Amino acid sequence: MKNETFLKACRREPSAHTPVWLMRQAGRYMKEYMAIREKYSFLEMCRAPELACEVTLQPIKAFEMDAAIIFADILLPLPGMGIDLEFAKNEGPVIKNPVRAKKDVAAVRVINPQEDVPFLLDAIKMVKKDLNGKVPLIGFSGSPFTLASYIIEGEGSKNYVHAKSLMYSDPEDWGKLLDKISDVIIAYLNAQIDAGVDCVQLFDSWVGCLGPDDYKRFALPHTKKVIAGVKKTVPLINFSANTGTYLNLVKEAGGDVVGVDWRVRLDEAWKTIGYDKGIQGNLDPVVLFGPVKEIKKRVKEIIGLSGGRPGHIFNLGHGIIVGTPVDSVRAVVDAVHEYSRK
């Protein structure tokens, strides 16, 4: 690997500078992405390895990113589980047969990645070849709670009424469903590792809708099971949003690096997580809509809060938002390198 800064940080080893990549770094804020997206739907792009490969590499060519993330989605395993997935125009994911009743839980299948997501594994092999060791490649999956929330709600949600209702009214079925989803995630991530990714990240984007006691009872055991079941040959990043008040529980799930959002101070978060783990984060993505001077100031502050300790991976606190100026992305990446260079 020519640029080892990201993998060194995953192992908490010192490196030449703080590594940086940005969640959702490939996407609609880039004109190169939109040029392809005009011709194909999002799922068509995910299912065509040449397109997924090209889009994965777009931010690597445009910026000095220290890692690539495979162009895919946390919802790609759903069709193989027997769940109908569509992306409605400008509305995000829609599922026609959400899991609501006992019989629905029983019908959910555990995927076979070679049969159900072969295009993803092919895309990973293609990207690894094209990268030729320039930077590492990250594979990813949703976490059990976040995937369950889509599978039960059938779309994005504000209050998670259906998901929480199942949790509270039928904890046994909730457990059965999350157990199956966890087996899917383990298979999905291990197949990506076998295909060649250098690291994997779990996205628990919506688990922060749970209070600490519910997190501990209904989400943590499943995330823990997933992390225990994923091959230990590559590092694992456990990212969650809106969990700043119970990072003491999040760290119990395991993983080499914990990803945090901007609602916590990085120094306090790291202290809670423990210095025996790395930390990833945590610039507010909306700062990128502000002036470059302010962006640079915020980047410098976060680097300062890491205290020069090895094991910090710079990222946003959540994914890049559509409409983010490309120059702001470049400003973040370059500022991280400038302020952290040894």
Contacts 24+ apart (CB under 8 A), 252-257: 252/220, 252/224, 253/220, 253/223, 253/224, 253/227, 254/224, 254/227, 254/228, 255/202, 255/227, 256/10, 256/11, 257/9, 257/10, 257/311, 257/313
When asked if residue 71 is in the footprint of ligand CP3 (CB under 6 A), the reply is yes
Q: Rule CB under 6 A: choose which of 6, 29, 63, 140 binds ligand CP3.
A: 140
Residues 169-208 that bind ligand CP3 (CB under 6 A): 203, 205
Write down the catalytic residue from 12, 33, 66, 73: 73
State the nearest-atom distance from the C-beta of 231 to ligand CP3, in Å.
Answer: 20
C-beta of residue 55 within 8 angstroms of C-beta of residue 26: yes
State the nearest-atom distance from the C-beta of 317 to ligand CP3, in Å.
Answer: 11
When asked if residue 74 is in the footprint of ligand CP3 (CB under 6 A), the reply is yes
194 among known catalytic residues: no
When asked if residue 156 is in the footprint of ligand CP3 (CB under 6 A), the reply is yes
Q: Determine the Cα–Cα distance for residues 125 and 305; give it in Å rounded to an integer.
A: 37
Binding mask 16-45 for ligand CP3 (x = CB under 6 A): -------xxxxxx--------x----x---
Q: Rule CB under 6 A: choose which of 67, 75, 178, 273 binds ligand CP3.
A: 75
Q: Determine the Cα–Cα distance for residues 318 and 309; give it in Å rounded to an integer.
A: 22
Q: Which residue, 69 or 135, is less far from ligand CP3 as judged by CB?
A: 69
Judged by CB under 6 A, the stretch of 6-14, 66-74, 78-86, 268-276 that binds ligand CP3 is 66-74
Residue 121 structure tokens: 């594994």
When asked if residue 47 is in the footprint of ligand CP3 (CB under 6 A), the reply is no
C-beta of residue 37 within 8 angstroms of C-beta of residue 12: no
109 among known catalytic residues: no
Residue 205 structure tokens: 């984007």
For residue 262, what is the DSSP state? T
When asked if residue 69 is in the footprint of ligand CP3 (CB under 6 A), the reply is yes
Amino acid, single-letter form, for residue 237: I
Q: Which residue, 24 or 298, is less far from ligand CP3 as judged by CB?
A: 24
Burial profile 221-232: b = 16 or more Cβ within 10 angstroms, e = fewer: bbbbbbbeebee
C-beta of residue 124 within 8 angstroms of C-beta of residue 193: no
State the nearest-atom distance from the C-beta of 270 to ligand CP3, in Å.
Answer: 22
Catalytic positions: 24, 28, 37, 73, 150
Which residues are near ligand CP3 by CB under 6 A?
23-28, 37, 42, 69, 71, 73-75, 92-93, 140, 156, 203, 205, 318-319
